[in-house]
Protein backbone atom coordinates (compact mmCIF):
# COMPACT_ATOMS: atom_id res chain seq x y z
CA UNK A 1 0.00 0.00 0.00
CA UNK A 2 2.64 2.41 -1.18
CA UNK A 3 0.07 5.20 -1.79
CA UNK A 4 -1.73 4.87 1.57
CA UNK A 5 -3.30 8.22 2.61
CA UNK A 6 -2.62 9.81 -0.78
CA UNK A 7 -5.34 11.48 -2.82
CA UNK A 8 -5.22 11.14 -6.60
CA UNK A 9 -7.16 12.89 -9.35
CA UNK A 10 -7.14 11.03 -12.67
CA UNK A 11 -8.76 13.01 -15.49
CA UNK A 12 -10.70 11.01 -18.07
CA UNK A 13 -10.72 7.81 -16.01
CA UNK A 14 -14.08 6.36 -17.01
CA UNK A 15 -12.52 4.26 -19.76
CA UNK A 16 -9.27 3.00 -21.26
CA UNK A 17 -5.90 4.06 -19.90
CA UNK A 18 -7.36 6.47 -17.30
CA UNK A 19 -9.63 3.76 -15.86
CA UNK A 20 -6.67 1.36 -15.56
CA UNK A 21 -4.58 4.06 -13.85
CA UNK A 22 -7.38 4.91 -11.40
CA UNK A 23 -7.77 1.25 -10.45
CA UNK A 24 -4.01 0.74 -10.14
CA UNK A 25 -3.47 3.77 -7.88
CA UNK A 26 -6.44 2.74 -5.73
CA UNK A 27 -5.06 -0.79 -5.41
CA UNK A 28 -1.92 0.78 -3.90
CA UNK A 29 -4.00 2.62 -1.29
CA UNK A 30 -4.76 6.00 -2.90
CA UNK A 31 -8.21 7.58 -2.64
CA UNK A 32 -9.12 8.33 -6.24
CA UNK A 33 -11.29 10.85 -8.07
CA UNK A 34 -12.58 9.03 -11.17
CA UNK A 35 -13.30 11.88 -13.57
CA UNK A 36 -15.48 11.64 -16.67
CA UNK A 37 -17.28 14.00 -19.01
CA UNK A 38 -20.06 11.83 -20.45
CA UNK A 39 -19.53 8.12 -19.65
CA UNK A 40 -21.26 8.06 -16.25
CA UNK A 41 -21.99 4.32 -16.20
CA UNK A 42 -18.40 3.48 -17.12
CA UNK A 43 -17.10 5.76 -14.36
CA UNK A 44 -19.46 4.16 -11.83
CA UNK A 45 -18.17 0.73 -12.92
CA UNK A 46 -14.58 1.86 -12.27
CA UNK A 47 -15.60 3.11 -8.81
CA UNK A 48 -17.40 -0.15 -8.13
CA UNK A 49 -14.33 -2.17 -9.16
CA UNK A 50 -12.24 -0.10 -6.74
CA UNK A 51 -14.59 -0.16 -3.77
CA UNK A 52 -15.38 -3.86 -4.13
CA UNK A 53 -11.63 -4.50 -3.87
CA UNK A 54 -11.56 -2.48 -0.63
CA UNK A 55 -10.35 0.81 -2.12
CA UNK A 56 -11.70 4.36 -2.00
CA UNK A 57 -12.98 6.26 -5.04
CA UNK A 58 -15.76 8.51 -6.23
CA UNK A 59 -16.89 9.39 -9.75
CA UNK A 60 -17.02 13.09 -10.61
CA UNK A 61 -18.49 14.51 -13.80
CA UNK A 62 -16.35 17.42 -14.99
CA UNK A 63 -15.18 18.52 -18.40
CA UNK A 64 -11.49 19.36 -18.54
CA UNK A 65 -12.49 21.99 -21.11
CA UNK A 66 -14.03 24.03 -18.31
CA UNK A 67 -11.92 25.88 -15.73
CA UNK A 68 -14.87 25.90 -13.31
CA UNK A 69 -15.26 22.13 -13.67
CA UNK A 70 -11.56 21.57 -13.02
CA UNK A 71 -11.71 23.76 -9.88
CA UNK A 72 -14.70 21.74 -8.73
CA UNK A 73 -12.74 18.48 -9.21
CA UNK A 74 -10.05 19.67 -6.81
CA UNK A 75 -12.67 20.99 -4.34
CA UNK A 76 -14.53 17.67 -4.34
CA UNK A 77 -11.26 15.77 -3.78
CA UNK A 78 -10.48 17.88 -0.71
CA UNK A 79 -14.02 17.70 0.67
CA UNK A 80 -14.45 13.94 0.14
CA UNK A 81 -11.03 12.80 1.22
CA UNK A 82 -10.22 15.55 3.79
CA UNK A 83 -6.95 16.59 2.18
CA UNK A 84 -5.85 18.19 -1.07
CA UNK A 85 -4.61 16.14 -4.02
CA UNK A 86 -1.15 14.54 -3.78
CA UNK A 87 -1.23 13.01 -7.27
CA UNK A 88 -2.61 14.45 -10.51
CA UNK A 89 -2.74 12.36 -13.68
CA UNK A 90 -3.56 14.47 -16.73
CA UNK A 91 -4.94 11.68 -18.88
CA UNK A 92 -8.12 13.00 -20.57
CA UNK A 93 -7.50 13.34 -24.27
CA UNK A 94 -9.28 13.32 -27.62
CA UNK A 95 -8.44 12.94 -31.29
CA UNK A 96 -10.09 14.79 -34.21
CA UNK A 97 -8.10 13.29 -37.10
CA UNK A 98 -8.00 14.83 -40.56
CA UNK A 99 -5.45 15.58 -43.24
CA UNK A 100 -3.81 18.95 -42.70
CA UNK A 101 -5.25 20.57 -45.82
CA UNK A 102 -8.77 19.50 -44.79
CA UNK A 103 -8.46 20.15 -41.07
CA UNK A 104 -11.06 22.58 -39.76
CA UNK A 105 -10.15 25.28 -37.25
CA UNK A 106 -12.54 23.68 -34.74
CA UNK A 107 -10.80 20.31 -35.09
CA UNK A 108 -7.49 21.95 -34.24
CA UNK A 109 -8.91 24.10 -31.43
CA UNK A 110 -10.91 21.28 -29.78
CA UNK A 111 -7.86 19.05 -29.50
CA UNK A 112 -5.63 21.82 -28.15
CA UNK A 113 -8.32 22.86 -25.68
CA UNK A 114 -8.89 19.33 -24.33
CA UNK A 115 -5.34 17.99 -24.49
CA UNK A 116 -3.23 21.07 -23.68
CA UNK A 117 -5.18 23.96 -22.12
CA UNK A 118 -6.73 21.54 -19.61
CA UNK A 119 -3.26 20.47 -18.49
CA UNK A 120 -2.28 24.12 -17.96
CA UNK A 121 -5.40 24.73 -15.83
CA UNK A 122 -5.16 21.55 -13.74
CA UNK A 123 -1.39 21.70 -13.27
CA UNK A 124 -1.59 25.32 -12.06
CA UNK A 125 -4.21 24.37 -9.47
CA UNK A 126 -2.36 21.24 -8.40
CA UNK A 127 0.91 23.15 -8.07
CA UNK A 128 -0.65 25.74 -5.73
CA UNK A 129 -2.00 22.98 -3.48
CA UNK A 130 1.04 20.71 -3.64
CA UNK A 131 3.45 23.58 -2.88
CA UNK A 132 1.79 23.89 0.54
CA UNK A 133 2.46 20.18 1.17
CA UNK A 134 5.96 20.49 -0.28
CA UNK A 135 5.29 17.23 -2.14
CA UNK A 136 3.32 16.10 -5.14
CA UNK A 137 3.33 13.99 -8.26
CA UNK A 138 2.02 15.17 -11.61
CA UNK A 139 1.90 12.75 -14.54
CA UNK A 140 1.00 13.83 -18.07
CA UNK A 141 -0.18 11.24 -20.58
CA UNK A 142 1.51 12.16 -23.84
CA UNK A 143 1.91 9.94 -26.93
CA UNK A 144 4.51 8.35 -29.17
CA UNK A 145 3.25 10.55 -32.03
CA UNK A 146 4.27 13.68 -30.10
CA UNK A 147 7.83 12.50 -30.85
CA UNK A 148 7.51 10.76 -34.21
CA UNK A 149 4.80 12.88 -35.88
CA UNK A 150 1.88 11.20 -37.65
CA UNK A 151 0.02 11.96 -40.88
CA UNK A 152 -3.61 12.91 -40.27
CA UNK A 153 -2.93 14.02 -36.71
CA UNK A 154 -1.43 17.51 -37.03
CA UNK A 155 -3.61 18.76 -34.15
CA UNK A 156 -3.12 15.74 -31.86
CA UNK A 157 0.64 15.63 -32.49
CA UNK A 158 0.88 19.34 -31.65
CA UNK A 159 -0.98 18.72 -28.40
CA UNK A 160 1.19 15.80 -27.31
CA UNK A 161 4.47 17.48 -28.32
CA UNK A 162 3.39 20.46 -26.21
CA UNK A 163 3.13 18.21 -23.17
CA UNK A 164 6.83 17.37 -23.41
CA UNK A 165 7.81 21.02 -22.97
CA UNK A 166 5.14 21.63 -20.36
CA UNK A 167 6.36 18.61 -18.35
CA UNK A 168 9.96 19.87 -18.39
CA UNK A 169 9.03 23.48 -17.55
CA UNK A 170 6.77 22.50 -14.67
CA UNK A 171 9.41 20.06 -13.38
CA UNK A 172 12.02 22.84 -13.32
CA UNK A 173 9.68 25.36 -11.66
CA UNK A 174 8.33 23.02 -9.02
CA UNK A 175 11.32 20.83 -8.09
CA UNK A 176 12.36 23.07 -5.19
CA UNK A 177 8.88 22.54 -3.69
CA UNK A 178 9.16 18.76 -3.82
CA UNK A 179 6.77 18.37 -6.75
CA UNK A 180 7.79 15.86 -9.44
CA UNK A 181 6.37 16.24 -12.94
CA UNK A 182 6.80 13.47 -15.50
CA UNK A 183 5.10 12.17 -18.64
CA UNK A 184 4.30 8.79 -20.14
CA UNK A 185 4.27 8.46 -23.92
CA UNK A 186 2.26 5.36 -24.85
CA UNK A 187 2.58 3.74 -28.25
CA UNK A 188 -0.44 1.83 -29.63
CA UNK A 189 -2.60 0.72 -26.71
CA UNK A 190 -5.81 -1.35 -27.00
CA UNK A 191 -8.58 1.09 -25.94
CA UNK A 192 -11.66 2.71 -27.49
CA UNK A 193 -9.33 5.31 -29.01
CA UNK A 194 -7.61 2.69 -31.18
CA UNK A 195 -10.60 0.33 -31.55
CA UNK A 196 -11.76 2.11 -34.70
CA UNK A 197 -8.49 1.61 -36.58
CA UNK A 198 -8.80 -0.65 -39.64
CA UNK A 199 -7.59 -4.23 -39.15
CA UNK A 200 -5.14 -3.91 -42.09
CA UNK A 201 -3.60 -0.84 -40.40
CA UNK A 202 -3.36 -2.65 -37.05
CA UNK A 203 -1.75 -5.72 -38.65
CA UNK A 204 0.72 -3.54 -40.55
CA UNK A 205 1.71 -1.71 -37.35
CA UNK A 206 2.02 -4.91 -35.32
CA UNK A 207 4.62 -6.09 -37.85
CA UNK A 208 6.59 -2.87 -37.30
CA UNK A 209 6.49 -3.07 -33.47
CA UNK A 210 9.58 -4.99 -32.28
CA UNK A 211 7.53 -6.68 -29.51
CA UNK A 212 4.87 -7.52 -32.18
CA UNK A 213 1.72 -6.45 -30.28
CA UNK A 214 -0.22 -3.42 -29.09
CA UNK A 215 0.12 -2.58 -25.41
CA UNK A 216 -2.62 -2.79 -22.78
CA UNK A 217 -4.00 -0.05 -20.55
CA UNK A 218 -2.45 -1.97 -17.65
CA UNK A 219 1.04 -1.56 -19.19
CA UNK A 220 0.56 2.21 -18.84
CA UNK A 221 -1.05 1.96 -15.40
CA UNK A 222 1.98 0.07 -14.00
CA UNK A 223 4.23 2.95 -15.12
CA UNK A 224 1.84 5.52 -13.68
CA UNK A 225 1.96 3.75 -10.32
CA UNK A 226 5.76 3.84 -10.43
CA UNK A 227 5.83 7.57 -11.22
CA UNK A 228 3.13 8.31 -8.61
CA UNK A 229 4.93 6.51 -5.80
CA UNK A 230 7.93 7.53 -3.67
CA UNK A 231 10.17 4.90 -5.32
CA UNK A 232 10.54 7.32 -8.27
CA UNK A 233 11.19 10.42 -6.16
CA UNK A 234 14.52 11.17 -7.90
CA UNK A 235 12.87 11.30 -11.32
CA UNK A 236 11.44 14.56 -12.67
CA UNK A 237 10.99 16.21 -16.07
CA UNK A 238 11.19 12.87 -17.88
CA UNK A 239 9.04 11.09 -20.43
CA UNK A 240 8.74 7.32 -20.10
CA UNK A 241 8.18 5.72 -23.53
CA UNK A 242 6.02 2.57 -23.49
CA UNK A 243 5.63 1.38 -27.07
CA UNK A 244 6.99 -2.16 -27.51
CA UNK A 245 10.13 -0.68 -29.08
CA UNK A 246 8.31 1.09 -31.93
CA UNK A 247 10.01 4.44 -31.27
CA UNK A 248 13.54 4.42 -29.88
P1 LIG B 1 -10.28 6.70 -24.57
O2 LIG B 1 -10.46 5.23 -24.41
O3 LIG B 1 -10.91 7.40 -25.71
O4 LIG B 1 -10.75 7.40 -23.20
C5 LIG B 1 -10.70 8.78 -23.09
C6 LIG B 1 -11.07 9.19 -21.68
O7 LIG B 1 -10.97 10.63 -21.61
C8 LIG B 1 -12.50 8.81 -21.33
O9 LIG B 1 -12.55 8.42 -19.97
C10 LIG B 1 -13.25 10.12 -21.55
O11 LIG B 1 -14.38 10.23 -20.71
C12 LIG B 1 -12.21 11.15 -21.14
N13 LIG B 1 -12.45 12.47 -21.69
C14 LIG B 1 -12.49 12.86 -22.98
N15 LIG B 1 -12.78 14.17 -23.06
C16 LIG B 1 -12.90 14.62 -21.79
C17 LIG B 1 -13.19 15.88 -21.21
N18 LIG B 1 -13.39 16.97 -21.96
N19 LIG B 1 -13.24 15.99 -19.85
C20 LIG B 1 -13.04 14.90 -19.07
N21 LIG B 1 -12.76 13.67 -19.56
C22 LIG B 1 -12.70 13.54 -20.91
O23 LIG B 1 -8.74 7.09 -24.63
P24 LIG B 1 -7.44 6.28 -24.16
O25 LIG B 1 -6.95 5.50 -25.30
O26 LIG B 1 -7.67 5.63 -22.85
O27 LIG B 1 -6.43 7.51 -24.00
C28 LIG B 1 -6.13 8.10 -22.74
C29 LIG B 1 -4.96 9.06 -22.92
O30 LIG B 1 -3.86 8.34 -23.47
C31 LIG B 1 -5.26 10.20 -23.89
O32 LIG B 1 -4.61 11.38 -23.45
C33 LIG B 1 -4.62 9.72 -25.18
O34 LIG B 1 -4.26 10.78 -26.01
C35 LIG B 1 -3.41 8.97 -24.65
N36 LIG B 1 -2.86 7.97 -25.58
C37 LIG B 1 -3.58 6.89 -25.97
C38 LIG B 1 -3.00 5.96 -26.84
C39 LIG B 1 -3.72 4.73 -27.31
O40 LIG B 1 -3.17 4.02 -28.17
N41 LIG B 1 -4.89 4.41 -26.83
C42 LIG B 1 -1.71 6.17 -27.31
C43 LIG B 1 -1.01 7.29 -26.90
C44 LIG B 1 -1.58 8.18 -26.02
P45 LIG B 1 -15.89 10.33 -21.29
O46 LIG B 1 -16.14 9.07 -22.05
O47 LIG B 1 -16.74 10.50 -20.09
O48 LIG B 1 -15.88 11.53 -22.18
Structural domain count of the chain:
1
Q: With contact defined as beta carbons under 8 Å apart, do 148 and 96 qualify?
A: no
The residue among 227, 235, 236, 106 whose CA lies nearest residue 171 is: 236
Cβ of 41 less than 6 Å from ligand 1: no
The reply to whether 173 falls in a domain is: yes
5: alpha, beta or left? (left if phi > 0; alpha if psi -120 to 50): left
Q: Which domain holds residue 155?
A: 7-242
> What's 230's DSSP letter?
G
Residue 81, classed as helix, strand or coil, is helix
What is the position in ligand 1's atom list of the atom closest to the CA of 14?
A: 9
Asked if the structure places residue 1 within a domain, the reply is no
Q: What confidence score (pLDDT) does residue 168 get?
A: 98
Averaged pLDDT of the chain: 97
- Within a domain: residue 2? no
pLDDT confidence bin for 94, thresholds 50/70/90 = very high
In angstroms, the Cα distances linking 4 to 50, 56, 75, 90, 172 are 14, 11, 20, 21, 27
- Ligand 1 pocket test, candidate residues 62, 92, 143, most atoms within 8 A of CB: 92
Main-chain dihedrals φ then ψ at residue 72, nearest 5 degrees: -60, -40
**What percentage of residues in the chain have a pLDDT greater than 90?**
98
pLDDT at 190: 96
Tell me: the pLDDT tens digits for 125-137? 999 999 999 999 9
In this prediction, residue 246 carries a pLDDT of: 97
Give the strand order in the sheet containing 179-186: 56-61, 31-36, 7-10, 87-90, 136-141, 179-186, 239-242
pLDDT value of residue 207: 95
| Residue 139 CA to ligand 1 centre (angstroms) | 14
- Is 247 a member of any domain? no
Domain membership of residue 248 (yes or no) is no
In this prediction, residue 6 carries a pLDDT of: 98
- Mean local confidence (pLDDT), 33-56: 98
**pLDDT confidence of residue 43:** 98
pLDDT at 27: 98
CATH number of the domain to which 186 belongs: 3.40.50.720
Q: 38 CB under 6 A from ligand 1?
A: yes
Residue-by-residue DSSP string for 91-148:
-------B-GGG--HHHHHHHHIIIIIHHHHHHHHHHHHHHHHT-EEEEEE--THHHH
135, 156, 205, 247: the active-site residue: 156
Domain assignment present for 37: yes
Residue 243 pLDDT? 98
Amino acid sequence: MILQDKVAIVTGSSRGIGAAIAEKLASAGASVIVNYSSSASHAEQVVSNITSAGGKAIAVKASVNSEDDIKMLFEVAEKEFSTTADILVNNAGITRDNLLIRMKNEEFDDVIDTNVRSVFLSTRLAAIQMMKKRYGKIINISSIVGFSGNPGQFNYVASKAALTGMTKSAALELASRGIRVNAIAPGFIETDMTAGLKDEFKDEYKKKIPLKSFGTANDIAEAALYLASPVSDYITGQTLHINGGLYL
